Structures are given as structure tokens and as C-alpha cells.
Structure 1
Amino acid sequence: MSNLYQLPNKEEVLDKASYWLAELEKGLDHQKEIELGEWLNQAPINKEIFFELTGMWDKMDSLSRLKDLFPLPVDRPVQKQFGAQIIFASVLLIAVFTSVFTLTDTFNFESELIQVTELKNDAEQLYTTNIGEKSTITLIDGSQLILNTNSSIKTMFTEDERHIYLERGEINVQVAHDKSRPFFVHAGDNIVEAVGTEFNLEIIDGQKIELIVTEGKVLVTVIDRPASDRPKTDSNNQTAVTNHKKLTITMVEGDKIILGSDDEKVERITAEDIKVNLSWRGGNLFFRGESLEKIIKEIERYTQVEFEIVDEDLKRIRVAGLFKAGDVKGLLETLEKNFNVTNKKIGNNKILLSNYSDKTD
């Protein structure tokens, strides 16, 4: 008799957990309840991942039934279910394709690819990632940055200050503590000063800046100057900022703001919200009922392929699930299976999505 026990594969568990979420949304009969219970008890990781997904998916009325069927690790809030249909899927996110596009091409979003350009000295560098790439870098002061897809930053360090310029894309910042040298991140007309902290910055819609503080405290300053007018370094290697402050905001862990929006108000978000917003760091994207139109827009950040949703009704379909980098075929098959959404390839880098009834040869 063998004493070997094969541990569950995490990816397989994610797939199975998403399957059971879909079944739960449809409604479980007695036999399905037994099968779900058996699967949850097969291995601790099954419960861990399943309840983590249900915690992130906080808009399912069906969650209340879980408390009766199975013991939850913690009490979770139960909110009203969406009225529209929901896709639950653990499929792979669309990513970069070769020059000849095929539906079976894949891309490894986990690869740590980055371009580094040395500028004037070791303290001034340019870091970039291409579409679909993600990279973790450690700066000369020990601070750690994670660059998301299609991102670019410039670093400028002096003896007295540390400056990061977010040119495009999204970064997650973990600041090394150094009271003698303040740490600033510049994005558009905004300066974020870190105070021993961790935060996430993303340029959205070309102009707006989304800032989420995940640890510590930051001071956000909106200044009256063009984004291209950076602090100048004089002959003594000292950085001078001559622009006038417009607004200063103090933010702490769990705060979120959209700078450049009509209503620049700090919003409190939950730990689960933070997990969802930062799931890209692990090569995942988690959706909790956003419209297909919004989700496709997010997916297009990770691929050179353009999607066009032909039917207006399809744009309003709401989708939920954990999506991973690598398998466009899986995503398209899920859309077709759940909502009769067909796809048609146009050239090398465009896909049309439409209702099955509208499909033409």
C-alpha cells in the first residue's frame, strides 16, 4: 500500500472552486450539496480557496446558504444578488500574441521581463514593461516596485530625496524606510509622498490617477504645473521644486482616491477590495460582476488584440470569476458556453464578439 499523497494542484483547485461557485449560483440540489461537501473536505486548500473566492464575490445572495450547509472560516456579509446572469470561470486572461495570431497562443504573465535604460548615473534609471509583461524590481535604496503590463517609470535619486516618475501604466510600491530621504512618486500633476508605506498607483483613461494605500500613510499633493515640468537637479545634485501646491490630502491604509476626477474624495475600501484590486500582482484578475464591456477593456491592457462587442446587450452582461494570463481560447469558450457569445477573427489582431443568433459566415 502506498503512503504517498499527491497534493492538489492549486490551478486545478481554482478551476474546481469556480465551477462550484457557478453551481451555487444556479442552485444546488441535495446530491450537489453532498458532492460539494465531499470536495471541500478532501483537502484544506479546497476550503481555503473556495471561501476566499466567495469572500471576494460579495454580491451573491447564495452565500447565505453556505452558512447552513458548511462551516465558514469567518462570517461574511451577504448582499443582494445581481439580477442579470453571471459567468463564473477560472479561465486564462488574454495576453500577448505572436505576429500571426491564433486562438491557442499563450503568454506567461508571470515572466519577469523588463527593459532598463541607464540615464545620467546609477541613481537615474528608466524601467519599462511591454504589453502583457510584469516585473518586480528592487531600487538602490531597497524599495521594491512591481510594474504591471505596459508600464514605464523613471527614477531620480539624490543624497536628500528619492523620486519616481510614473510615465504610464501601473505600479505597486513598497517603500524602504529612510527618514533622511523622503520618497516621492510623481504621476501627472500629483505628487505622492510616502511615509513608510505601501501603495498602488495606476494611470487610467490617460489623465486620471487611481491611488490605493495598502499600508502606512501617504501625503498626496496636487500642484499647479504641467506634468512635463519635473524638479530640476542643480550642480550640487540637489533637487528643487518651484511649483505651487494646489491641494494636499492625507491618506492611510484602506483609502482609495481617483485623482483628476470631478469628485476627488477619499473612499474607504475593505481588505477584500484591496485583494481584488491588486490580484494582478499574482498574474490574476478577479471580477465581481462588472459588465462585459468593462472587463474586455481591462483585458485589452494585457494583449495586442483588439476586441469589438457587436451587440449592445452583450456589453451589459455581467461577469465574475478569477481570470489568469495565458489562454484566450478558454475565455472565448466560456463566453460561448454560458451566453452563446460567438467570436470571429478579423485579420491578425481583432476579434468580434456577438450573439449566437447574429452569427454570419
Structure 2
Amino acid sequence: MSNVSQFYSKEHIQEQACLWISRIDRGLSPTAKQALVNWSQQKHTHYTTLLEMASYWDDLSVLNELSDLFPLERNQPKSRKLTAIVMAASIAFISLISANTLLNESFIPFLPSYKEHQLTQIQTFATKVGEQASFTLSDGSHIQLNTNTEVAINYGSNQRKLTLVRGEAQFDVNHDISRPFTVVAGEKSFTALGTIFNVQKNNEQALELVVIEGRVLIAKANEAIDVIKQSFDQPLATLLPGILVKSGEKATIAEHVDAPVQEVSLSQVQRDLAWQQGMLIFEGEPLTTALADISRYTKIHFEIIDPQIANLKVAGYFRADDIDGLIASLEINLNITSSKAPNNTILLSLAN
């Protein structure tokens, strides 16, 4: 058993408390409720920070939920613990009332909104060629970046907007109906509520969307957020300001042409997302297509010398960073020989 204790800063505890309150606002499962109670009981500062952060929230249902999770104990009416609970809950309630009824409106512009501050996040995440990385956003959503990818985060009080500047990323979205989660890529936007989806941007017009869970609305990049919010209440897909893609479906956008949404099998989804395990899967693609995909993960460039090998079919599993293994496979299975050239270039031709 380890005797090393983990210590956390005040800021880290405040961040955890805010995440818990956000989850309370969306609704907790019985398991999550017990996890919250356990976390609050680990340290007294966890509990007091939770109540402090709750005092800034503008929804009384959060305080009601906390009162249900931490009821007053009848047998200890004078204990210091109960006194602290009553005082903290009172402060939280008074803070909400005073913020909404006691303050003159002329003073409000001079008082920073803590909740608005918590909802705001402006940041950029990026990976280099051959690199992959995962990040957790301030609302609890997760993004996983593939090779040579850049995502700009711009969270506000009424929208969570991300821009896929280049590359490919998967987004695991935390549900928040009041703040739609929108990814802008090129000329299109992809908006979700509680969803897991993958977006690949090849250029401003060539995009690919795979929805793993939930649903995503494809619209114009400059579509108004109010129109997008209203669209999720539309019962008919024909009234939506774009294309609705559901779980297990894939949409391809190329040069201003939106291809029909396709249903994809589980194996196809796993193939499209194999990059998350550092793998590439090919099932009969032309050699030129396979090499273009592999080139995304390395600074090595491939040049086909013999045109007759360009359309040879490639099939198999390859590690994205294993160029030597790829070359060996091409030599054995397709009778292709390789040679190195300047500027990280590999020349490919048909063996004699």
C-alpha cells in the first residue's frame, strides 16, 4: 500500500466542484450521486468548495439537489458540521436572491459574472505531423486530435464553438441544450447536443463526418446560432436548416457537393476511427489513395515513378508510423521496389 498522499491546489478543487455542479444541473444517475457524496466526504474543503461554487449558479434546482444529497441530521442539531451546512446553504440562497432582486440594474455591468467566466474558454489545441493528443474542455467534453490537427476553442455563455482549422478530430460532447456544441470546418458547421462524432477536413470544401453516437446537424458555417437551436425542436427533417446525420451514419462533402448520407457498419466505423489506436486500415483502395492517407502521419513523401502501379489495390492493417513495414509489404505483396531521394522522398516503381 502506498503512503504517498495526493495533494491538490485550491484551483483544482474549484474546477472539480464546478464540474460536479454542471453535472448536477444536467441530472445525476444514482451511481454519480454516490460518487459525488464520496468526493465531498474525502476532504472538508471539497464540501465547502462545492457549496461555494453552487452559490454562483443561477438554478435553484442545483441547491435543491444538494440539500437532498446532504440532508440535515436530526440527532445532531448543534454540531459544528450542521451549522456549517446551514450557513453555507443560506449564503448560497441569499447570493442567488440578491443577484436577481436586490441589486440595482445600473450596478450589474460592473460586477463580473462568475458563471459566465466559468463558461468562457478561448484556447487552441494542435498536434504535429505524426502526433496525436487528447484534451478535456471546461464543460467536460473531450476532443481527440489526429496527426497535424489544429482546433480553436471559443466557448461563450450561449454557444460552444470550435473551429477545425486543419486535420481530423473526434468530439465527445457533454450535453448542454442551452449551449449547442458547434464545430466549424471550412464552409460547413457540425452542431450536436450530447454526441460523439468525428470530423476530417481535407480542405475548405472536402470534409467527412462520422457520427458514433447521437445526431449532428450539418449546416452552413455562418448559420445563426438561434436558427440552429430551434432546429433541434423540429419534428420533420425537411424543416431543418441543413442535413441531419444520426448514429451509425456518415456524410461526405466534396467541392460544394453534399453526397447522400450513408449508413455504415460497425466495421466501417472502426476502420474510419482506427487512427485512434495508431492504425490505418485499407480494404482495396488504390495505392495513390493509401499513400496520401499515410503521408498525413509522416514527413516522408512518396512519389510513384511507374504510372501502372498507381491503381494497384492495397489491403491490410498498417501502423501509421511504420514506414519500413509499409515498404516491406509493398515489395512482398505488390512487387514494388523503393529507393530514397532527397527531401525525405521515397520513389516507388515496379520491380524488374
TM-score (norm 2): 0.59
* Corresponding residue number in structure 2 for 1:186: 184
* Corresponding residue number in structure 2 for 1:329: 324
Deviations 1:24-66 (A, max 9, x none): xxxxxxxxxxxxxxxxxxxxxxxxxxxxxxxxxxxxxxxxxxx
State, as a whole percentage, how many aligned pairs show the same letter: 37
1:269 shift after superposition: 1.1
Question: 2:277 pairs with 268, 279, 282, which one?
Answer: 282
Could you say what secondary structure the match of 1:169 adopts? strand
Could you say what secondary structure the match of 1:196 adopts? coil
The within-5 A match list for 1:219-230 is 219-223=217-221
Distance 1:326 1:186 in 2: 29
Distance 1:160 1:206, change over 3 A: closer
* Corresponding residue number in structure 2 for 1:346: 341
Distance 2:291 2:270 in 1: 20
Q: Does 1:255 align with 2:253?
A: no
Distance 2:241 2:174 in 1: 26
* Corresponding residue number in structure 2 for 1:176: 174
Distance 1:190 1:205, change over 3 A: closer
Question: 1:159 pairs with 153, 157, 160, which one?
Answer: 157
Please tell me the residue identity of whatever aligns with 2:319. Answer: K
Distance 1:240 1:248 in 2: 14
Deviations 1:118-169 (A, max 9, x none): xxx9610011111111011111111010101011010011122111111100
Question: 1:292 pairs with 287, 295, 302, which one?
Answer: 287
Greater share of helix residues, 1 or 2?
A: 2
Distance 1:195 1:224 in 2: 18
1:259 shift after superposition: 2.4
Distance 1:318 1:286 in 2: 13
The answer to whether the 8 A contact 1:166-1:187 is kept is yes
1:274 shift after superposition: 0.4
Distance 2:203 2:351 in 1: 32
The answer to whether the 8 A contact 1:213-1:256 is kept is yes
Between Structure 1 and Structure 2, how many residues are aligned? 223
The answer to whether the 8 A contact 2:297-2:321 is kept is no
Distance 1:197 1:321 in 2: 30
* Corresponding residue number in structure 2 for 1:107: none
The answer to whether the 8 A contact 2:185-2:204 is kept is no
Distance 1:169 1:138 in 2: 18
Please tell me the residue identity of whatever aligns with 1:171. Answer: A
Distance 1:356 1:194 in 2: 50
Distance 1:166 1:198 in 2: 16
1:170 shift after superposition: 0.5
Q: Does 1:269 align with 2:264?
A: yes
Distance 1:349 1:241 in 2: 48
Distance 1:212 1:287 in 2: 17
Deviations 1:252-292 (A, max 9, x none): 11111122443432111111110001100111111111111
Please tell me the residue identity of whatever aligns with 1:294. Answer: T
Distance 1:335 1:260 in 2: 30
Distance 1:139 1:158 in 2: 13
Structure 1: which 4+ aligned runs deviate by more than 4 Å?
239-242
Distance 2:252 2:337 in 1: 35
Deviations 1:91-112 (A, max 9, x none): xxxxxxxxxxxxxxxxxxxxxx
The answer to whether the 8 A contact 2:129-2:147 is kept is yes
The answer to whether the 8 A contact 1:192-1:218 is kept is yes
Unaligned ranges ≥5, structure 1 = 1-120, 226-230, 232-238
* Corresponding residue number in structure 2 for 1:317: 312
1:181 shift after superposition: 1.7
Deviations 1:228-263 (A, max 9, x none): xxx8xxxxxxx8999xx9941111111111224434
Greater share of strand residues, 1 or 2?
A: 1
Distance 2:241 2:177 in 1: 23
* Corresponding residue number in structure 1 for 2:141: 143
The answer to whether the 8 A contact 1:223-1:247 is kept is no
Distance 1:126 1:223, change over 3 A: closer
Distance 1:223 1:352 in 2: 40
1:223 shift after superposition: 4.9
